[in-house]
Amino acid sequence: MQIDLKGRLAVVTGGSGQLGRTICRTLAECGADVAVHYHQNQASAEKICAEIEATGRRARPFQADITDETSIKDMQKRIEKELGQPGIIVNNAVIQYKWVPVLEQSLADYESQFRSCVMHNVMMIQAFVPAMIKRKFGRVIAINTECAMQNFPTQSAYVAGKRGMDGVLRVLAREVGPHQITVNQVAPGWMVSENVFDGNSAGQRRYRESVPLRRRGDDQDVANLVAFLASDLADFISGQYISVSGGNVMPTI
């Protein structure tokens, strides 16, 4: 048994970022062609596309503002023209901001998280899912977070955005299920990546001690689940919020 994505086309928002790059590489390693979205980091997007194409898969960089409807629709048209109609969308991009207590958090930060979590997902869905419905196949995968279950101090804007997208995606799973389209969320913990190291600060030690596996995962752990959910092996899994946190958070029944 293996994850086989040959003949599939995936679009990954935030594909030029830390987690996005690993997701793009992993989907390509499983046989998929990849549309690599970026907002500002064109050089990084072009680099990951070159890496993927060196393996024999197709990859192209596509610029868009994931908080703007016209920009997303334009990206969808360009992807369809250059690569075809994606059967897999991975909504990974999110706006970064400074975390502070609710009493100090600016209203603009709440608005940015709403647009980059909730509206980002809605607009990607409206742009790409109609073609999936016609083909009676599709995979919608969104990157959530363990923070949505933790609700720790200073997380409020991020949690508000991620909990909002959770509602949209659960409803979507029911709406598009009859068309054989699955909708799932992958929720990483505090993962190690190319620029986020597993150091020995007090905060990092406390975090590792809170994880039942007593270690931190990395971006590859997240990308592995994304690839599985994109594959036929997961064709009866939908409407799920799946934690990749070593047991640090445990969704309950």
**What is the rounded distance in angstroms from the CA atom of residue 50 to the CA atom of residue 114?**
33
Nearest partner of 129 among 182, 184, 74, judged by Cα = 182
- Which contacts of 159-166 are long-range, i.e. CB under 8 A and separated by 24 or more positions? 160/110, 160/113, 160/114, 161/94, 161/110, 161/113, 161/114, 161/116, 161/117, 161/118, 162/113, 162/117, 164/114, 164/117, 164/118, 165/117, 165/118, 165/120, 165/121, 166/241
Handedness of CA 59, 60, 64, 69 (dihedral sign): negative
**38 in active site:** no
Question: Catalytic one among 110, 158, 207, 241?
Answer: 158
Strand ranges (E), 68-211 = 88-91, 138-143, 181-188
- Residues labelled catalytic: 158
